[in-house]
Amino acid sequence: MKPPGVRLVTTLGAAQTLAWASSYYLPALLARPMAADLGVTEPTVFAAFSVALGVSAFTGPHAGRRIDRWGGRPVLMATSVAFALGLAMLATATGPLSLFAAWAVLGLAMGSGLYEGAFASLVRLYGHGARNAITGITLMGGFASTVGWPLSAALEHAWGWRGACAVWAALHLFIGLPLNAALPRLGTQPDAPEPTAARPTDTAPAAHAAPPWRTAALLAWVFAVTWFISTAMAAHLPHLLVAVGTAPAAVVAIGALVGPAQVAGRLLEFGVLRRVHPLASARLAALMHPIGAALLALAGAPVAVAFALLHGAGNGILTITKGTLPLALFGSAGYGHRQGLLMMPARLCQALSPWLFGLLLSHLGQATLWLSAALALSAFAALCAIHAPARPA
């Protein structure tokens, strides 16, 4: 089977960067002006965003099943249109009802058009040969906030938040849609695995033809815990750093280290860790947050930089293993639908994370770090309870 080329990885990676920048990273810059203009509170805007995350959780398995059946090209093209529609609805929102409706549409697009949809599309085409391509796409997607936040800020400054949403909608139609349309058609990729019966080299052994419920449940727990922590840190890292005594002037600079650390972690996966089983990569990554959290809880501000680097690097590697680990454990047959099911609890935890972690932080302060460390260690324990299947002879 011919491996994915650089052109395909670059094309799909660019489409993913656009998708993440205009959805997941949108509220951070536009929630405040959006709330002021619509006459709602800022938490109401984030509540609408949480609705989008909830909708995406239930959309994922259905989108994955469609990718298993038809390939990723038609599904990802449809998500470009859905992103554009949701953003256009957001740009024309007049109150809470239309705000929530717009984010619900964006949730449909997010559930089928973010990483899980891209991973499933590559696996449908290339089977186990998709691992390096998955890493390449997440490397590009790691810059979504780096690109999205300044662009959203510039657009909002020039044309207001409505104009910013309208421009993002146009970018999906005129850039995102052609990029996703460049994905190979299912019938044009030589040796593409069949949706109901993967090739022997692209599957786990026969004993894993149907995913064991124990392994699937453990993996779902790992994804739910790690997404809860990563979303909580994305929303509350500045407040957490202040709680441990970090100078306010240093908070932004330290928080900015998380993004480059994520990219560094993904480069580590691409260069060194790709030679080992994804289970080993995931175990290593799952330990990085609790080590950093324990250091921060014990030593405070002097080790804040180390915490940001450890958390970011671990999160960057785990983003990749969310795509490669189910493939290595269960094979490529039915990957898209299975991936959607495995990620459903993670999406729901992600939707609750900013509110719940913020509540805990307000009551417990820096002691919340011990909770996040304990959760991350439970994910590590779950990964240790999963055994890699032996490779077929």
Q: Where are the domains of the chain?
A: 6-188, 208-384
pLDDT in tens, 144-154: 877 887 898 89
Helix %, strand %, coil % of the chain (to 5)? 85, 0, 15
282 contacts 384 by C-beta, under 8 angstroms: no
CB contact set of 152 (below 8 Å; sequence gap of 6+):
21, 25, 26, 29, 30, 164, 168
Question: Which of 90-94, 138-142, 299-303 is the least confident region?
Answer: 138-142
In this structure, what is the dihedral angle of CA atoms 214, 134, 288, 387, given to the nearest 10 degrees?
30
Predicted pLDDT at 11:
92
pLDDT in tens, 186-220: 765 544 444 444 443 444 444 344 447 889 999 99
94 contacts 111 by C-beta, under 8 angstroms: no
Q: Express as a percent the part of the chain with pLDDT over 70.
A: 91
Predicted pLDDT at 97:
96
pLDDT in tens, 49-105: 889 988 998 898 888 889 988 888 999 999 999 999 999 999 999 999 999 999 999
Predicted pLDDT at 3:
57
pLDDT in tens, 349-383: 988 887 788 888 888 888 999 999 999 999 999 99
Query: What sign has the CA pseudo-torsion 155, 156, 160, 162?
Result: positive
Tell me the Cα Rg of the chain: 20
pLDDT in tens, 124-135: 888 877 878 888
pLDDT in tens, 250-297: 887 887 788 788 888 888 887 778 788 889 999 999 999 999 999 999
Query: What sign has the CA pseudo-torsion 189, 190, 196, 197?
Result: negative
Question: Using CA atoms, how far apart are residues 318 and 281, in angstroms rounded to an integer?
Answer: 8
Predicted pLDDT at 195:
45
40 contacts 99 by C-beta, under 8 angstroms: yes
In this structure, what is the dihedral angle of CA atoms 39, 45, 47, 48, given to the nearest 10 degrees?
100
Predicted pLDDT at 221:
96
pLDDT-derived band at 37, boundaries 50, 70, 90: very high
Residue 315's alpha-carbon distances to 132, 165, 257, in angstroms, are 18, 28, 13
pLDDT-derived band at 307, boundaries 50, 70, 90: very high
Around Cβ 6, how many Cβ atoms within 10 Å?
Answer: 9
Predicted pLDDT at 190:
45
Helices 131-141, 304-330: crossing angle, 10 deg rounding: 150
Burial zone of 168 (CB within 10 Å; 0-12 exposed, 13-18 middle, 19+ buried): buried
Asked whether this chain's domains 6-188 and 208-384 adopt the same fold, the reply is: yes
Around Cβ 187, how many Cβ atoms within 10 Å?
Answer: 8
Question: Using CA atoms, how far apart are residues 257 and 151, in angstroms rounded to an integer?
Answer: 19
Predicted pLDDT at 249:
80
For the chain, what is the mean pLDDT?
86
pLDDT at 309 over 50: yes
For residue 111, the number of C-alpha atoms closer than 13 Å in the C-beta half-sphere is 34
The class (CATH top level) of 6-188 is mainly alpha
Question: Using CA atoms, how far apart are residues 125 and 118, in angstroms rounded to an integer?
Answer: 11
Assigned superfamily of 208-384? MFS general substrate transporter like domains (1.20.1250.20)
Predicted pLDDT at 4:
62
Predicted pLDDT at 389:
67
Question: Which of 165-169, 190-194, 246-250, 386-390 is the least confident region?
Answer: 190-194
pLDDT at 172 over 90: yes
Mean pLDDT of the region 317-321: 89
Nearest to 379 by CA among 330, 345, 334, 354: 345
